[in-house]
Amino acid sequence: MYELDIERDVPLAPLTTLELGGPASYFVRAEREPTVVDALRWARAEGIPAAILAGGSNLVVPDAGYRGLVIQMAIGDLAFQRDGRVHAGAGVPWEAVVEGALARKWAGIECLTGIPGSTGATPIQNVGAYGQEVSEVVERVRVIHRDDLGVQHLAAADCGFDYRTSLFKQDPTRFVVTGVDFALRTDGEPTVRYAELERSLETPSPSLEEVRSTVLELRRQKSMVLDPHDPNRRSAGSFFLNPMVSDDEARRIVEQALREGLVDDSAEVPRYPVEAGRTKLAAGWLIERSGIAKGTRRGAIGVSTRHALALVHHGGGTTAELLGFAEEIRRRVEDRFGVRLEQEPRLLE
Ligand code: EPU
């Protein structure tokens, strides 16, 4: 058993990008896997719950804080092997992995640049953007099993990856992710799959670096990179998932949009076929067309001025206000389009 340096009543708001929420009753920073194991064991012995906090960029902390042990994931080992394989500890900032890969001309994550947060979080919510998903390059995930505190590896095929979800997200009580092994492509061909990205690229066969800088520029325009000078900076990225609906429901919404004059042509309703019989709609589009314009404010909370899918904290607000506004948005979209939006960031509870 290692000596655990457990702190009391640690404010969590400064450790999140939303800068909201109360303190953790107990808090420990874990730079090594055995510290995580010991911390989990300590919490169990004390009879209190334990939760993991990493980059804090996709996390909503209740105003009452967390009555348990928060383990700050800070495992920071990062190794690039010759064949495109990368091992990263869960606490490694994700952008360090992207940068290291690009420096070696390794392909597979060039579209996933500019995403705030830690590497360990990427398989949990199967991070995706601009035509790539991290599940395409995850080889295996290193985890601590919360039952017996044993360490094991899960192959990508056993991680239950789907759109913004995984086994780890669906059952957060089972595993703690401590590291990820990636297999990237050393041939260096970038992925140009996302229509907006394709339109924005200046050359027909761009380099990895061009793809990366174009994605960064797109993200910047949407206030989706962390910039201390950006008034939309206090956010958790997309606050809602893009809803998956049946093809019939998607058709109904397109017909409604045409009937109500929201669009002139059905192609103007953004949607993507995902699997047989299912269509993914754009939540940002639904929110705006429900009458919630970019920049709409409710006190200290607002919709980003650059993207209707991001909720922004302007300072001095509370999580209750944030969740209240989120519920208002959800109701508006449901009343208008009959689609219930689901929250994307994790609620610490
Ligand atoms: N749209 C609007 N109004 C808005 C925002 C978007 O009408 O305010 C429309 C756009 O015009 C476009 C469509 O919605 O036709 C899609 O917008 P965008 O390309 O910005 O992507 P998104 O679906 O809103 C998703 C991810 C982002 C990711 C981008 C790019 C989710 C929940 N969000 O957003 O991921 O960066 O695609 O791939 O899937 C995140 O998860 O935090 C995140 C930022």
In a domain, 210, yes or no: yes
Whether the per-residue pLDDT at 126 is higher than 60: the answer is yes
Angstrom distance (rounded) from CA 182 to CA 86: 5
Cα 120 to middle of ligand 1, angstroms: 23
Instruction: Tell whether 180 and 206 lie within a shared domain.
Output: yes
- pTM for the full model? 0.96
Instruction: Tell whether 100 and 166 lie within a shared domain.
Output: yes
In a domain, 55, yes or no: yes
- Domain span at residue 43 reads 7-73
Whether the per-residue pLDDT at 1 is higher than 70: the answer is no
List residues near ligand 1 (CB under 6 A): 129-130, 164, 194, 196, 222, 224, 237-238, 241-242, 270, 282, 284-285, 288, 294, 307-309, 344
Atom of ligand 1 nearest to the CA of 127: 41
In a domain, 111, yes or no: yes
Instruction: Tell whether 204 and 104 lie within a shared domain.
Output: yes
Structural domain ending residue among the three candidates 50, 73, 96:
73
User: For the chain, what percent of residues have pLDDT higher than 70?
Assistant: 99
Structural domain ending residue among the three candidates 51, 73, 95:
73
The pLDDT tens digits for 280-326 are: 999 999 999 999 999 999 999 999 999 999 999 999 999 999 999 99
pLDDT of residue 3: 80
In a domain, 176, yes or no: yes
In a domain, 332, yes or no: yes
Whether the per-residue pLDDT at 2 is higher than 70: the answer is no
In a domain, 1, yes or no: no
CATH number of the domain at 192, please: 3.30.465.10
CATH number of the domain at 40, please: 3.30.43.10
Q: What is the mean pLDDT of residues 166-192?
A: 95
Q: How many separate domains does the chain show?
A: 3
Is 238 tagged catalytic? yes
Instruction: Tell whether 109 and 151 lie within a shared domain.
Output: yes
Q: What is the mean pLDDT of residues 210-215?
A: 98
Cα 102 to middle of ligand 1, angstroms: 24
How many C-beta atoms surround the C-beta of residue 193 within 10 A? 11
pLDDT of residue 70: 98
Q: What is the mean pLDDT of residues 139-148?
A: 97
Instruction: Tell whether 174 and 195 lie within a shared domain.
Output: yes
- Return the C-alpha torsion angle 201, 206, 209, 213, nearest 10: 0
How far apart are the two ends of the chain, measured CA to CA in Å? 27
Which residues of the chain form beta strands (DSSP E)? 7-11, 23-30, 50-53, 59-60, 66-73, 78-80, 85-89, 128-129, 132-133, 138-145, 151-155, 175-183, 235-238, 244-246, 271-275, 278-281, 297-298, 301-303, 310-313, 346-347
Cα 239 to middle of ligand 1, angstroms: 11
pLDDT of residue 202: 86
